[in-house]
Chains A and B, each alone.
Chain A
């Protein structure tokens, strides 16, 4: 509002002399008129103009002007004027110390200049229009605020009392200016505090929301939303460092879909990539600057009307995690507070991203650990089921059964034989009650391994697991399965079969499952390999053993011969025990029992050597001790470690009363004669073990058998058999034999064997061989 006019106090120009004394009213009256209460409510600018007008009128001057001091640049800026408006419009500045006002400001002394042409003048307006000036500094305490000057077109227009008036006005102005400055400062501080509070609220809100974000994507979404809301951005993007040279876009808003790619090369010339690359914030205040700095996307920025941009790195200390990018729809000067807020948001993003990563990693690790534990349990369980099976078909069945129970909907095993062809195939599915249904497949279902297009053939050829996460729907037993895994059942060089598992669509195999399937396959392969070895070895052992024992005992007129042989334990290896009964010449027979100290093929070789050497030696030598001597020499010529053996050789000659036996032992348990009255006699003397010493000692002992007497030859497997540390022993053998009085020799051999087998719960540990000889009653 214009101030009310008070004609009684303020005298307008005219009527009063423009210089010297005699102007209206006393200086105090003039100053009161100049500084009345109406000024109190005015704004600074209005106050300036009102005051300047009033001073000019009061002093009947031509101009009144205020210059304000800029301490930073040390200049006085023409701020408001009544009469010299042009200086204001042209922003005329006076350096401190220069010109009339500059000197007044510097000296802080009021001055009256009666003739401006006599002094240095900077302002062109003053020089042009004013002849005399009164100038007073505006100060607050000791510090300069500005200068007020009043000018006249006349020379020497101002008296001391004019100066006093200007001084009063200057004081008043100074106070007002100072108040205003304080007010301004206060307001600024309040505004800053409010902005600060808003930022804090904002960051707290962000922190709250981030606490709910558990994944990197959720964190980035939240950051994006808050950045847009909190900073008034038009668009926002959050990227993470995916690889050394690549950024992954985690979240974005405000950009058209076609502009946002899943990844961004880190050397892309866009603000967000630059921030991630350099680790320094990017501030772009105007559209021109945007175009100049990022010309490749200038067109798009223009189309989207983006006029400013900011991007800050998202980092934890030195570690770069990604960047946050913003675009704005208006030009924007990024004040320090703005910058701080953006950086603070990025900092929170970094902390939350890291936490989300740790959380995800931990959850992943826990899930992995749980899976691994379950898997180990499953594999251990499978291993237990396998341990008892030593037959190929049982193992294959166990595998498919187990697979459909725990891993798959359909399971198939093709067993591959030594000839590289599929020998048999078995499949399993589940019935309505979840029980495994096992079916052996006919030859028609066997894959042709020669056919290069058959997937089963690939698996075997490459010994590689083939995983079809979403394969075409196969035919045959896998019908209905959309996801399959086929793994070779291989051990070392040998492929023993293929395991094929199928799952229906509802629960397709994942990559993780492949490891489990391979592990099951590997366990099964091991069992299959063992079973195959067992099968082979048992066959070989059986064949070899048979070849080393007489296929049937010869029939000796008037004599009865019995024999029992039982290989040790599982029958996997060729035993070391052997026996032989042969005719040397009419009426003379050789009876042999022996034990090679060793097992397997080398022992079998020694056994064969012993058997044929004894037969040959018996033709040339008649004394059993000499026959054993010949065998000893033959054995010594063998270089093998397995050449030791024990042998008992018995020469049998018929005589009218019965038979005469000559017994010689080479380290072998001495035979026992069971007399028909039940008496037991050990026959022969210990002799040297064969095959180790060049000078063995053997003796020959003669014993006659009458009808009803039986000679029992045995190996140490009989007496050595143990049960919980207790041996079967000689005494127990004697007891069993005494119970056999009156039995035929073969029956006696049978009885002794079964007594030994019964004695032990398990299979015998060592071979057992028994040969019995009796005279027909």
Chain B
């Protein structure tokens, strides 16, 4: 409850949020790539809490970003709707699965995806 009174937390949170928002806007993905590890290591969140909170953070950011993309004509709704339909199903299943995965493995799977993302960005 007194989380916010800890020294340096406020500034840390602000910086994490700023970078998360920037990545989400520019790369169209990957806000969580910043948010999750920084919440775990800088804010000392539990792994599961970090993942869950990251999604809650990214949701409003995604709404704003996609509005900007839409205004700039980068949004193909015809393709987005079927993807979204599948996404909802997968999202619910994934959210149910999250707490069944031990922190240690969550960490490793996340690392694997970070590497995949890095390779994608380089290639």
Question: Are both chains from one complex?
Answer: no
Residues of B within 8 A of A (CB): none
Residues of A within 8 A of B (CB): none
